[in-house]
Amino acid sequence: MIRVYLVDDHEMVRTGFRALLTQHPEFSVVGEAGTGEEALAGLRETPADVVLCDLHLPGISGLEVTDRLIRGGSEARVIVVSAQEDGPLPRRVLNAGASGYLGKAAPSEELLRAIRDVSRGKRYISTTVAQQMAISSLDTTGSPFEQLSVRELEVAMLLIQGLRMTTIAERLNLSAKTVATHKYNLFAKLHVNDIASLTKMAMQHGLSEPQLV
C-alpha cells in the first residue's frame, strides 16, 4: 500500500486526486492539507510515502515544504505538481530534494506512474518538464531569474500574467506591503523598471505565462 498525502489549496483539485487514487487499491490517501503549514503539521502526525504538493500555495510555497521535509529527515518523498512547466522553478524544486515534478495537465496515468516510481525510490520528471530543463541547460549564460528567491519568482510570474498587486497578495496569502517589497527586490535584482521589461526578459529566457491554479 502506497500512502499518499495531498497538498493543494483548491479543494476541487484534492477531491480529483483523491477520487483517482481511491480507484486503485494500491494507494491510500492518508491525509490532505490546503496550505504548506497545515501539511507540515499533518505530516508530523501522519506517516506518508508520497506527498503530492502544489507549488504555489498560500503562505509557504511547495518548494519550501519540500525543503523543510528533506531537512527535517522526513521519509516522505515529494512530487510537486504545478502549472509551471518551464523556467527556473522545476530545477529549483528538484535541487531542493523533490523526487518528482509534474505539470498539472499531465494525464492521470502519468500521475499514477509517477507515484509508483517515486515510492520505489526513483525520480520522475514529466516529459515536457524534462525537455524544458534540457533546453534551458544549453544556455551557458544562465538565467537572471535564478538569483530570485522562491517568493520573488512567484511574484514575478504573477506580475507577468497581469495580476494586480492586491490580487497577488490574496493569491499568495501575503500582505500588500510584502508583495510590494518582493516586487521592488526582484526589479532591483533583474535591473528592470516596469512589468513590460520584466515580461520581455522572461520571454527571452524561456519563461512562459501559465495560469497558476
The CATH number assigned to the domain holding 195 equals: 1.10.10.10
Confidence (pLDDT) at 90: 80
In this predicted structure, the answer to whether residue 76 has a pLDDT above a threshold of 60 is yes
211 located within any domain? no
pLDDT at position 137 is 54
**Domain match, 48 and 78 both:** yes
% residues pLDDT > 70 (the chain):
88
Distance (Å, rounded) from C-alpha 183 to C-alpha 31? 35
Of the pLDDT bands very low, low, confident and very high (cuts 50, 70, 90), residue 64 is confident
CATH code of the domain in which 101 resides: 3.40.50.2300
Whether residue 128 lies inside any domain: the answer is: yes
Tell me phi and psi for residue 159, to 5 degrees. Answer: -65, -40
- 30 and 126 both lie in a single domain: yes
Angle at CA of residue 154, ends 153 and 156, nearest 5°: 65
Q: Name which residue leads in pLDDT, 163 or 128.
A: 163
Residues 17 and 82 grouped into a single domain: yes
Is the pTM above the cut of 0.85? no
pLDDT tens digits for 18-28? Answer: 999 999 999 99
Average pLDDT over residues 98-103: 91
pLDDT at 188 over 90: yes
Same domain, yes or no, for 60 and 90?
yes
pLDDT over 70 (residue 55): yes
Question: Taking 90 as the threshold, does the pLDDT of residue 3 lie above it?
Answer: yes
Domain limits at 200? Answer: 144-204
- Mean pLDDT of all residues belonging to the chain: 85
Shared-domain flag, residues 78 and 157: no
Residue 124 contacts residue 113 (beta carbons within 8 Å)? yes
Q: Do 124 and 32 have their domain in common?
A: yes
Q: What's the helix, strand, coil split of the chain in %, to 5? A: 50, 15, 35
Confidence grade of residue 211 (pLDDT, cut at 50, 70, 90) = very low
Same domain? For 156 and 117 the reply is: no
Q: How many CB atoms lie within 10 A of CB 8?
A: 26
Q: How confident is the model at residue 39 (pLDDT cuts 50, 70, 90)?
A: very high
Between these two residues, 128 and 65, which has the higher pLDDT value? 65
Instruction: Note the pLDDT tens digit of each residue in 168-177.
Output: 888 777 899 9
pLDDT value of position 140: 45
Provide the edge-to-edge strand list for the sheet that holds 100-103. Answer: 27-33, 2-7, 50-54, 77-82, 100-103, 124-125
List, for residues 138-165, the tens digit of each pLDDT value: 454 567 887 888 788 878 878 987 889 9
Quick one: 58 and 95 in the same domain?
yes
